[in-house]
Amino acid sequence: VSFCSEMQKFPKLNAGDKKIVKNSGSQINPGAVHSESIDSEVITDRSGFTIETKLEENQDNMTIDEREYLVADDHASMSEPSTSAYSRRRLLLLVAAMCGIQVCYAVQIGHGSATLELLGMPTRWVSVAWLAGPLSGLIVQPLVGVLSDACKSPLGRRRPFLLSGCVLTTIALLLFSNSSSIGMYLGDSVLPQEAKTESNTGTEIGLAIGVFSFFLLDFSIQAIQGPLRALITDVLPPQQHPQGNSYLALMVGAGNLVGSWLGSLNLYRYFPFFRDNVQILFALAALVLCVAVSITVVSVKEESTEDNTDGTLNQNQTPRTSLNEAW
């Protein structure tokens, strides 16, 4: 009772605030739940507060000489110090990379199957090539997530993966759209347009490059998408996480809209120095991706993680153990 009356004197605590109450003779609330250890005693009362009582050891036995009640909101005690809220403009810049990702997905979905068939892949095998998407999500996202958690780059944990994923995705887009030209340069004897009349022979090199770049495209995009979602939760305060997810969904729709619109245009009329419309479309998608990722990387500042102060990976946790848990 005396403890409860003592607690009523304190003002309401905000997130991240804490107050030390010293009391050596107060009784503990009988309804509290006790959890004792050698170094400290943690008591959680019915109001949801956590009270930590530090114990000091006497020469004869373990006694409580002084009780220091550390009262804090459970959520605030577990979370990092709150950061400043993002404005709408900063939120748009933060999630801009997702727009570039979805533009790439849109052009791949719209023209990937047709390009693979043009390169000589049988129709029944085209659906097998689309396994690249589920496989990339199963393999790359957990791997990149764990590696980015342990990253100690001066750029932060997520931005190095955004940049490297952007480079690999750009290479994949350009390889896929130019696979037939590269195949002819490396020794293919038949143009893709003639492959249908020649029993799908003569385009083996171009088809191999196309399949490789098709898988590389899905895998490298996942290296951007996973860290981007983690970056949003890293830099936004908890109360803005729902708003950040809403802006992310907005960019998903905008990217799909832009990619589908570009695919419906006769781009060769505006860029006649390219060989065909597919080359132009995939080159534009690569350009949009690079611009969008650059906007996100430049506009966001991550805290330095050289000392891994957030404790994401403790001494007993390694990327391998984390991946074993994820898979």
- pLDDT, one tens digit per residue, over 234-247 is 999 999 999 999 99
Q: How far apart are CA 243 and CA 86, in angstroms?
A: 10
Q: CB-side exposure of 135: number of CA atoms within 13 Å?
A: 12
pLDDT tens digit at each of 327 positions of the chain: 555 555 555 555 454 444 444 444 444 444 444 444 434 444 444 444 444 444 444 444 444 443 443 333 443 333 344 467 888 999 999 999 999 999 999 999 999 999 988 888 888 889 888 988 888 888 888 888 888 888 888 888 999 999 999 999 999 999 999 998 888 888 776 656 555 544 455 678 888 999 999 999 999 999 999 999 999 989 999 999 999 999 999 999 999 999 999 999 999 888 988 888 999 999 999 999 999 999 999 998 887 555 444 445 544 556 566 566 666
| H/E stretch holding 149 | helix 132-149
Give the Cα-Cα-Cα angle 79, 81, 84 (nearest 5 degrees).
125
**CB-CB contact of 247 with 94 (8 Å):** yes
Nearest to 285 by CA among 136, 94, 140, 99: 99
Nearest to 163 by CA among 107, 118, 208, 228: 228
Task: Encode burial over 215-243: b for 16+ CB neighbours within 10 A, e otherwise.
Answer: bbbbbbbbbbbbbbbbbbebbbbeebeee
Nearest to 286 by CA among 93, 132, 96, 107: 107
Look up residue 4 and give its DSSP letter.
Answer: H
Q: Could you please report the per-residue DSSP string of 243-299?
A: HHHHHHHHHHHHHHHHHHHHHTS-GGGT-TTSSSHHHHHHHHHHHHHHHHHHHHHHH
Q: How far apart are CA 227 and CA 165, in angstroms?
A: 10
Tell me the per-residue pLDDT of 47-102, one tens digit each, with 9 for 90 and over: 444 444 444 444 444 444 434 433 334 433 333 444 678 889 999 999 999 999 99
Q: How far apart are CA 208 and CA 313, in angstroms?
A: 40
Q: How far apart are CA 144 and CA 229, in angstroms?
A: 12
**CB-CB contact of 166 with 290 (8 Å):** yes
| Residue type (1 letter), 257 | L
Task: Encode burial over 298-312: b for 16+ CB neighbours within 10 A, e otherwise.
Answer: eebebeebeeeeeee
Task: Retrieve residue 7's tokens.
Answer: 């607690």
Which residue is it, tokens 């109360």? 239
pTM of the model: 0.68
Which residue is it, tokens 């009523």? 8
Q: How far apart are CA 255 and CA 158, in angstroms?
A: 21
Look up residue 44 and give its DSSP letter.
Answer: E
Q: Is 204 exposed, middle or buried (0-12, 13-18, 19+ CB in 10 A)?
A: middle
**CB-CB contact of 205 with 223 (8 Å):** no
